Amino acid sequence: MAQSPNLATHDSGRGDPSGTRSQTLDRGLRALEVLRENAAPMSIAELARSLEVHRSIAYRILRTLEDHRMVSRTRDGHYELGLGLPVLARGVSHGLQSAALPVLSSLADEKRMTAFLVVPSGEEAITLTTVEPRHSVAHLAYAPGVRHPLDRGAPGRALRAALPPREGEPSEVAEVRARGWAHSRSEVLPGLSSVAAPVTSDTVVASVAVVYLDTTVEIDERTLGERVHSAASEIMAELP
């Protein structure tokens, strides 16, 4: 699934007043975040406005990121995320990704749905890796890096269920923990449903999920939930 103010050169307020943070690095990381959140490649002027910096500063940031393949330029001179990011991301939770990829591939091909692995980051659920079915006529794409609140969507609830019970947690989290899987409809993106199951070990908290259109017919949620739960168990068995 693929969607003139005064320009300031001062820090946008995210910096540490004690001077212990790098303003330049902060701007570079924010540039990557802006590109991720934008549906289309962006011009230097657009990024400068988003970062609230002068065009010359945005240009230097982008050229540096380009040197490291974190961004790339399109034919019309706009910028988008580069191929260096997926290479870098492969080093994140390497053991978890290695254990999950064969299971995700099998799940995606069997159910003809995109399967993905989600990990927590603060109060958000972030998609770490995805696998699309190889023999499906039509399916949804779901890119790594997609994030949403932990309290929204099946992957988020499965992540919360992967953690020990906490006082005051919603009853639906306890239900997911007891049942082994969660289901949601149109909570993260309108028109999309997902089914997810917790993945836990001594060192890992994650969830495995599939996503499909709400209008998909002949979906037995319980059968699908049990299959996703089985995939989660397979991943846990392969964790180092």
* Distance between CA atoms of residues 22 and 64, nearest Å: 15
List of residues 6+ apart from 208 with CB closer than 8 A: 100, 103, 104, 107, 115, 116, 117, 118, 158, 196, 197, 199, 228, 231, 232, 235
Question: Residue 176: phi, psi to the nearest 5?
Answer: -65, -40
Give the chain's radius of gyration (CA, Å): 20
How many CB atoms are closer than 10 A to CB 227? 18
DSSP secondary structure code for residue 140 in this structure: -
Of all helices (H) and strands (E), which one includes residue 55?
helix 55-67
Query: Contact 179/197 with Cβ under 8 angstroms?
Result: no
pTM for the full model? 0.66
* Distance between CA atoms of residues 230 and 212, nearest Å: 19
Give pLDDT tens digits along the chain (240 positions): 333 333 333 344 444 444 677 888 888 888 888 887 887 889 999 999 999 999 999 999 999 998 888 888 988 899 988 866 665 655 555 778 888 899 999 999 999 999 999 988 888 888 888 898 887 665 666 677 778 888 889 999 999 999 888 888 888 999 999 999 999 998 888 888 999 999 998 888 899 999 988 776 678 899 999 999 999 999 999 887
Domains with residue ranges and CATH for the chain: 23-87 (1.10.10.10), 92-238 (3.30.450.40)
pLDDT at 8: 34
Query: Contact 158/187 with Cβ under 8 angstroms?
Result: no
On the 0-12 / 13-18 / 19+ scale of CB atoms within 10 A, 205 is middle
Instruction: Supply 42's token pair.
Output: 């962006």
DSSP secondary structure code for residue 42 in this structure: B
DSSP secondary structure code for residue 54 in this structure: -
